[in-house]
Structure formats: C-alpha cells, structure tokens
Amino acid sequence: MELEALKEIDSEVRAMGAQIVVLTPELERYTRALHKKLNLPFDILTDLHLKTAEQFRLVFTFPDYLKELYQSFGSTLDRFHEESEYRLPIPARYIVDSNGLIRAADVNADYTIRPEPSETLRLLKEILRTGTSPRGDQGSSTGEETVIKMNTQKKAKKNAVPQGTATNQLTAPDEPTIEEIRARAYELYVERGRVEGFDLENWFQAEEELKRNGSKPRD
C-alpha cells in the first residue's frame, strides 16, 4: 500500500522537479520482482548491509535472546538481507534539496505509523514556495528509507539528519516489548512477500506468537 501510494503522487513530485527514491536492505533479486509487479515509476535501491542506514543512525540490532526467538520461527532476514546479523532500519522519509540538505524528515520506530503521501506533497510544495524548512511532527514510511530529491543528484549531508532511535515501552515481565513486536511484524511482512495492507494482521499475529512462545528475561 505504501509503495503504491507513493506511485500515485510520483507524477506530481516529478512535475515539481523532484524525484522519489526508495532504499531498502533487501537484495535486488527480491526487490526486482516487487518493482515489476507494482510497475513502479521510481527506483528501489538496495542499501547493502545497511551502510546508508548506519550513516543516518537508523539501524537497530536485535538482542541475542530476540534473535534466537526469531530463528525458532524460521526467520529469513539473513537470506533477504545477506548478512548474519539481525538488523533492521527504522522507517524514514526525507525531502532533500538541491544543495543536498535535508529539509524535512519523518522518522518513527513503529513501521505501522506512516505519513500520508499527500502530507509529503504539501511539505514539498511549501519548501519550494517559501524556500524554508517546514516545522511539524515526525511520522514514518515503510521498513525502508524514502528520499524525495529536489533537482539534485547529490547525497544528503549526514550532519543534517536528526537522530532517530528505537525505544522500548514499559511492559509487564511476561509481555513482549514494542521492539519485539515490531521486529516480528516486519518479518511477517517480508514473509508475505511484502504484500501491503496487512499491517494490523502482522502486528497482532506477531504479538500473539511472542506471547505464546514467551521470551527470555530482559535486564
């Protein structure tokens, strides 16, 4: 749903002299099929081993007990991302101007909370109209980074990126944390073939699985 929604605004983004680029840790052999299936007009680039996400401080690593738990589910993250460590990027969306400066950023550790593409269009129009960065709340995109590039082929300045970190909410000892649920829900999303529209189903199934299987005590 997210990529299809971005597809719907692509022509308007291009009409303003900008372009959409999506970065994901998934290997090209998996994203190629998705790109063809959805007939996307923008590129999906592979952030191999999360090197770009690391620069943007968006990477979180599963703790050992959580990695073992997900391996018991038959986890496939290592196959999709071609790395032995269990890591994921925090979903993010950036608007980058022609000087390589990030003018707007949406970052949220919960991948189910996403900004509307119409809001991204509004921000882009405001930036182009006023030449200043708008102020607003932070949101998120999908399990990738989405970059709206404004008439530029330059890389975004790393120092201009706001820090985004995943945090756990306080839970009862026998309850899974938000981090655990989010990571397992993302796995279910990948295992479904990245089919959109099952956010709540993935989240509730992940929560149910984690409660049923339990997890190791946390410090």
pLDDT digits (tens, 9 = 90+) for 135-154: 543 333 334 566 666 653 33
Which segment of 94-103, 191-200, 205-214 scores lowest on mean pLDDT? 191-200
Percent share of the chain, pLDDT over 70: 74
pLDDT of residue 128: 87
- Give 165's pLDDT tier (boundaries 50, 70, 90): very low
CB 13 within 8 A of CB 121: yes
Domain ranges of the chain: 2-213
| pLDDT higher than 50, residue 162 | no
Average pLDDT over residues 73-84: 74
More confident residue, 72 or 29: 29
| pTM of the predicted model over 0.85 | no
Residue 214 Ramachandran class (φ > 0 left, ψ -120 to 50 alpha, else beta) = left
Give the type of residue at 153.
Answer: Q
Least confident stretch, 6-15, 102-111, 157-166, 210-219: 157-166
Average pLDDT for 35-42: 92
Mapped onto helix, strand or coil, the DSSP state of residue 212 is helix
In 27-51, which positions are buried (b, 16+ CB within 10 angstroms) versus exposed (e)?
Answer: eeebbeebbeeeebebebbbbeebe
Are the C-beta atoms of residues 144 and 90 closer than 8 Å to each other? no
Token match 């189910």: residue?
112
pLDDT grade for 193, boundaries at 50, 70 and 90: confident
Q: Could you give the percent of the chain with pLDDT greater than 90?
A: 19
Sheet containing 18-24, strands listed edge to edge, beginning at the edge strand earlier in sequence: 43-46, 18-24, 145-150, 92-96, 102-107
Q: How many CB atoms lie within 10 A of CB 218?
A: 13
Using the predicted structure, report yes or no on whether residue 174 has a pLDDT greater than 80. no
Q: Is the pLDDT of residue 197 over 60?
A: yes
Select from 43, 63, 52 the least CA-distant residue to 25: 52
**Contact residues for 62 (Cβ-Cβ < 8 A; gap 6+):** 70, 86, 87, 183
Given the structure tokens 């994921």, which residue do they identify? 88
Residue 98's φ and ψ, nearest 5 degrees, are: -70, -10
Residue 164 pLDDT exceeds 50: no
